Chains A and B, each alone.
Chain A
Amino acid sequence: MSKIHTAFEKGKAFIAFVTCGDPDLETTAEVVRSAVANGADLVELGIPFSDPTAEGPVIQGANLRALAGGVTTDKIFDFVKDLRKDVAIPLVFMTYANVVFSYDAEKFMARCRDCGIDGLILPDLPFEEKEEFLPICRKVGLDLISMIAPTSEDRIQKIAKEAEGFLYIVSSLGVTGTRSEIKTDLESIVAHVRANTKIPCAIGFGISTPEQAGKMAAVADGVIVGSAIVKLIEKHGKDAAGPVGEFVRVMKEAL
Chain B
Amino acid sequence: MNNSKGRFGIHGGQYIPETLMNAVQELEEAYEFYKNDPAFNRELTDLLNNYAGRPSRLYYAEKMTRDLGGAKIYCKREDLNHTGAHKINNVLGQALLAKKMGKTRLIAETGAGQHGVATATAAALMDMECVVFMGEEDTKRQALNVYRMRLLGARVIPVTTGTRTLKDAVSEAMREWTSRIADTHYCLGSVMGPHPFPTIVRDFQAVISREIKEQMLRAEGRLPDAVIACVGGGSNAIGSFYHFIEDQSVRLIGCEAAGRGIYTKETAATVNTGRLGIFHGMKSYFCQDEFGQIAPVYSISAGLDYPGVGPEHAYLHDIGRAEYVPVTDEEAVEAFEYLSKTEGIIPAIESAHAVAYARKLAPQMKKDQILVITISGRGDKDCAAIARYRGENIHE
Chain A residues near B (Cβ < 8 Å): 49-51, 53-54, 56-57, 60, 64, 67, 72-74, 96-103, 123-132, 146-153, 155, 159, 170, 173-175
Contacts and interface: CB of A to CB of B under 8 A. Distances in A.
21 contacts: A51-B171, A99-B292, A101-B277, A102-B275, A102-B288, A124-B16, A124-B278, A125-B15, A126-B14, A127-B18, A128-B14, A129-B1, A129-B13, A132-B278, A148-B18, A149-B18, A151-B19, A151-B21, A151-B181, A173-B178, A175-B178
A105 B15 CA distance: 16
Contacts of B162: 50-51, 64
B292 A103 contact: yes
B132 to A, nearest CB: 18
A173 B179 contact: yes
A64 B3 CA distance: 33
Q: Which 10 pairs between the two chains have the least Cβ-Cβ distance? A: A102-B292, A174-B179, A149-B19, A97-B278, A50-B293, A98-B292, A128-B3, A149-B18, A147-B18, A50-B294
B36 interface: no
A97 B15 contact: yes
B322 interface: no
Contacts of A102: 275, 277, 288, 290-292
Contacts of B293: 49-50, 67, 99
B393 interface: no
A109 B293 CA distance: 18
Interface stretch (B48-56, B110-118, B134-142, B279-287): B279-287
A49 B167 CA distance: 14
A124 B292 contact: no
B367 interface: no
Given A98-B278, A174-B179, A150 B19 contact: yes
A64 B168 CA distance: 13
B391 interface: no
A170 B17 CA distance: 10
Interface residues of B, number: 41
A130 B16 CA distance: 11
Nearest to A49: B293
A237 to B, nearest CB: 21
B168 to A, nearest CB: 8
A226 to B, nearest CB: 15
A188 B293 CA distance: 38
B291 A123 contact: no
Nearest to B22: A151
A153 B26 CA distance: 13
Contacts of B167: 51
A130 to B, nearest CB: 8
B103 to A, nearest CB: 15
Contacts of B175: 53-54, 56, 174-175
Given A124-B17, A149-B19, A151-B22, A173 B181 contact: yes
A37 to B, nearest CB: 31
B16 to A, nearest CB: 6
B14 A129 contact: yes
B180 interface: yes
B294 A124 contact: no
A97 B13 CA distance: 12
A124 B3 contact: no
Given A98-B279, A149-B18, 8 more contacts: A53-B175, A103-B291, A128-B13, A128-B21, A148-B18, A152-B21, A173-B179, A174-B19
A50 B165 CA distance: 14
B2 interface: yes
Contacts of A125: 15
Nearest to A173: B179
A214 B2 CA distance: 40
Interface string B1-31: 1111100000001111111111100000000
Contact of B279 (A51, A123, A170): A51
A132 B175 CA distance: 23
A174 B5 contact: no
A173 B113 CA distance: 28
Contacts of A127: 3, 18, 21
B161 interface: yes
Contacts of A159: 18
Interface string B169-185: 00100110011110000
A188 to B, nearest CB: 16
Nearest to B286: A98
B1 A53 contact: no
Interface string B250-292: 0000000000000000000000000111111100001010111
Given A51-B294, A175-B178, A131 B2 contact: yes
Nearest to B15: A124
A98 B283 CA distance: 9
A65 to B, nearest CB: 13
Contacts of B21: 126-128, 149, 151-152, 155
Residue among B19, B161, B178, B276 with the highest chain A CB neighbour number at 10 A: B19
B5 A128 contact: yes
B357 to A, nearest CB: 30
A80 to B, nearest CB: 16
